[in-house]
Structure 1
Amino acid sequence: MFDGAHSLELDPQERRARLRLARSARIGPVTFHEAIAHFGSARAACTRMAACPDADIDREEAKLTRAGGQFLVAGDPAYPAALAAVPGAPSALSAVGDLTLLGRPTLAVVGARDASLAGRRFAAELAATLGAAGFVIASGLARGIDASAHEAALATGTVAVLAGGIDQIYPPQNADLHDRIAAQGLILSESPWGTPPVARAFPRRNRIVSGLSAGVIVIEAAAKSGSLITAQRAAEQGREVFVVPGSPMDPRYAGSNGLIRDGAILVRDANDILDVLGRPSVPTQPLGRKGQNQLDGDTAKVLEALGAVPTAVDELVRRCQVSAAAVAEVLLALELEGRLERHRGNRVSLM
């Protein structure tokens, strides 16, 4: 484990030796740190261990430089201090983008890939509000919650951590977002250039997302969601775990609600997070039935019957005791306002 707050540059030969160790087969982060502690330096370790050839480092560094990036090695001044304090911290990271973001307080936002519109909207609102409050938003560039959080935090600062090599854009539909984060934010990867994002790499990626952050915010985690791994890593690292609750009838929240049951901090808006972190509260706009007290007639009846749990349109007609045409008109208006989500089986829910 290294202190990431170094003010002195590493000796160039020692830094190169650390890169060779970091890219060596069968030398993971724990062995990397143990080897340096045992032999006194990475240079000494390289003379006693099967280290990666210099030529391999030259080739990877040339590709990274052409992409506008650079290596961050454990012990570099720019290596993030919060991550450096985590046991088994990455030996080296590839980075493309604004390294100054690593010196700012960070929060992670993670959640379902197949998230609801309401979940994505909540992720975006939280990320934007927390970004305006001074936090960088970290996530894993996945579909759904991750992408929504990154999009909302582009203007204030966002860090995307990849499971594969820094040149491996995954999922492909996030290629444009990847490029915008590289230009306006920061992309990080522990994996060597060209490494595909295989399944076992995602839990390793998740420990970096949580390790960079003061806390992890979980939105829409199902019972076996990968977001639960990130939450577990956060707890092991001494980070706060914040969770947005959901209906017990919605399987997308089974894991989230379980985290709350086990002691995670329930989140209703950004101030629930800021209060725990000792930051000033900010104005927030409650989500849900906006302006309902100003509504009357059929619209008020339909809104009263709608909730986060999908409801069949036929059931709405029966419950509201209004015509099917009137219900359809209200639902269309809500959908055009971005307040309604449609589901399979002619079911709808309120965002």
Structure 2
Amino acid sequence: MIGTADLDGNERLARLRLIRTPRIGPVAYSQLIRRFGSGVEALAALPALARRGGGALPAIPPPAAAEAEADRVARLGARHLFRGEAGYPALLDRIDTAPPVLIVRGDIALLDRRIVAIVGARNASGAAVRFARTLAHGLGEAGWLVVSGLARGIDTAAHAGSIATGTAAVIAGGIDIVYPPENAALQEAIAERGLLIAEQPPGVEPRARHFPYRNRIIAGLAAGTVVVEAAPKSGSLITARLAAEFGREVMAVPGSPLDPRAQGCNLLIREGATLIQSAADIAEALSPIAGVAARPADNFASAPAPAEADEPARAALTGLLGPVPLAVDELIRQSGVSAAMVQMVLLELELGGRLDRHAGGRVSLIAS
């Protein structure tokens, strides 16, 4: 199995076809590669897996579709970076929902630096915008790569403050789509002087459902996430909570209790986030973990395939599932079936269109 080396052309196209197949998300993709050892073998196994899951085979894109996407990405001056390849971000590789493929344009060597995320309100106050720019500049001067989401307000300030020293923008749409429109020049500057990162294929306009996916990439890339102004139910707090779930440092800049834009940050601090007042505070908060070497990208090492589940085991697992999400660990405990077998049955159900995956490692059956 290819682990930390670059993949060959056939394998790259096979993996691209695999991730562009409906019903195959990051978790299913990882399990398929781990079990079968390659995208080529995983594609060949899909019909039997979907059949055992009780559903029809999802529509696998033809080779021509993958080739067309690869050509388009290359024409845009970008490239696909697959999970398991050399250069894939080490900290991002640690999360269970790491994107199977990123589309990157710019200086990929920046991902080897220590990474910190700065996020915050789109309608930020002038003082917060200035402070975010100052934080980003100070971190960049200290050798950090500053990552954010290229949104209005704090994100824009973070990129502007660090573009001269190193910044990466994770966007919600395709690598060729500018959003918001007023950041067109900044987005192009980041692609030329920093790094632009997208998960969606070229041409995909950002939709509301894409932003949580983008947020988990921002949180997963960084050793820690700093929030500068955020409403209590904002996307920035989603990013912060994802960072906490990933075991990363969560930091927040305090604000006036009279300003609604500061309520989210004050709430984070009350819940245990580190209070930040300078770039030096951030470096100090991250110093115990930022220098820890990430484990190699061996998460796709091929493991012995478990024996196929017998019908009683499959029936027992299906009987425990319902429309209410259930933790996979709880499913293993109640069923008495091995973890490997449970994961295989869940994969079959997912490929058959009968299973939904939810946050926190929970699953549910889709109503017939």
TM-score under structure 2 normalisation?
A: 0.73
User: Are 2:82 and 1:85 aligned?
Assistant: no
1:259 equivalent in alignment to 2:256: no
Distance 2:175 2:4 in 1: 26
User: Does the 8 Å CA contact 1:220/1:252 hold for their aligned counterparts?
Assistant: yes
Written as runs of structure 1 = structure 2, the 5 A alignment for 1:156-171 is: 156-171=165-180
The aligned counterpart of 2:119 is: 110
* Residues 1:192 and 2:201 aligned together: yes
Normalising by the residue count of structure 1, what TM-score does the alignment of the two structures yield?
A: 0.76
Report the Cα distance in structure 2 between the residues aligned to 1:262 and 1:15, rounded to whole angstroms: 43
CA contact (8 A) 1:36 1:45 kept: yes
Give SS of 1:107's match: strand
CA distance in 2, matches of 1:276, 1:182: 29
- Unaligned stretches of 5+ residues in structure 1: 280-351
- Give the corresponding residue for 2:36: 39
Paired letter, 2:246: Q
RMSD (Å), alpha carbons: 1.5
Which residue of the partner structure matches residue 220 of structure 2?
Answer: 211
What SS does the aligned partner of 1:138 have?
Answer: strand
Return 243-252 or 21-30, whichever deviates more. Answer: 21-30
Q: What one-letter code is carried by the residue in structure 1 that aligns with 2:262? A: Y
3-state secondary structure, aligned to 2:186: helix
Whether the 8 Å CA contact 1:166–1:193 is kept in 2: the answer is: yes
Instruction: Give distance in 2, aligned partners of 1:187 and 1:22.
Output: 20
Deviation (angstroms), 1:151: 0.7
Query: 1:139 is matched with which residue: 136, 148, 160?
Result: 148
TM-aligned CA deviation for residue 48 of structure 1: 2.4
The number of aligned residues is 276
Q: Which amino acid aligns with 2:103?
A: S
Instruction: Give the Cα–Cα distance (whole angstroms) in 1 for the partners of residues 287 and 74 of structure 2.
Output: 40
Whose Rg is larger? 1
| Partner SS, residue 257 of structure 2 | coil
The equivalent residue for 1:294 is none
**Equivalent in the alignment of 1:275:** 284
Further displaced range: 219-228 or 43-52? 43-52
Aligned pairs (5 A) from 1:282-301: none
Higher mean Cα deviation, 16-25 or 140-149? Answer: 16-25
Displaced runs of 4 or more, over 4 A: none
Specify the alignment match of 2:50 in structure 1: none
CA distance in 1, matches of 2:169, 2:237: 18
In 2: Cα distance, 1:43 partner to 1:276 partner:
44
Q: Distance in 1 between matches of 2:81 and 2:62?
A: 18
* Counterpart residue identity of residue 165, structure 2: T
> What secondary structure is seen at the aligned counterpart in 2 of 1:187?
strand
